[in-house]
Amino acid sequence: MKKGMTKVSVLYANGEGKTFDMDYYCNKHLAIVGNLLGDALKGATVEQGLNSDAPFAAMGNMYFESPEAFEQAFGPHAEEIMGDLPNFTNIEPKIQVSKVLV
Amino acid sequence: MKKGMTKVSVLYANGEGKTFDMDYYCNKHLAIVGNLLGDALKGATVEQGLNSDAPFAAMGNMYFESPEAFEQAFGPHAEEIMGDLPNFTNIEPKIQVSKVLV
């Protein structure tokens, strides 16, 4: 994604008793999010933690033109999107809103 | 970066008394890392935390063909690269090695 964009990272921390269904996440949750956010969502990536002490089981990243574009697209659907989380994980994710510098 | 690649994220957590010189990081540290890792490094991105409660002040991401390609490129230069950290931050970063799934 290009310089200057807004990246929203959803970070699922590893921990004892934590579960994460990567198949559901990639194949169902992402489609739900994509449909709800529409054209405001400029791209998305998913990464799975590999190292045994990886801080995060999974990281999902969404790209928007600006923080405002994210808020406008996400706000009205926040409840529905967050309501899907128990279908694939018991982890409460950390949300990071970043500016892409490089 | 494309599906299947290895992404190494270097995550600099925010916190009281933590400092991070983004100018040095983008303009000097990245060049040092790029020169040392050479062709094994397939791409790099930098993101700066925007939300006031952003977990991370900065996230640096490097892409490699495989976890082995990362280890082979990084290992011999780990000391020199990590030795540059005090020049721009007092944060001890978390390292996440991930597989790009989407």
Q: What's the predicted TM-score (pTM) here? A: 0.93
Contact call for residues B51 and A96 (beta carbons, < 8 A): yes
Structure tokens, A64: 């928007």
Model ipTM? Answer: 0.90
pLDDT in tens, A33-45: 999 999 999 999 9
Which residue in A has a C-alpha nearest to residue B61's C-alpha?
A102
- Nearest in space to B56 (alpha carbons), one of B99, B92, B100: B92
- pLDDT for position A52: 76
| Set of chain A residues whose Cβ sits within 8 Å of the Cβ of B45 | 1, 100, 102
**B6 contacts chain A (CB < 8 A):** yes
pLDDT digits (tens, 9 = 90+) for B52-78: 789 999 999 999 999 999 999 999 999
Chain B residues closer than 8 Å to A48 by CB = 98-99, 101
Summary mean pLDDT of chain B: 96
The predicted structure's pLDDT at residue B42: 97
A59 within 8 A of A11, measured Cβ to Cβ: yes
Name chain A contacts of B7, Cβ cutoff 8 Å: 47
Residue A16 phi, psi dihedral angles, 5° rounding: -60, 130
Nearest by CB: B98 against A50, A67, A94: A50
C-alpha A55: how far from chain center: 16
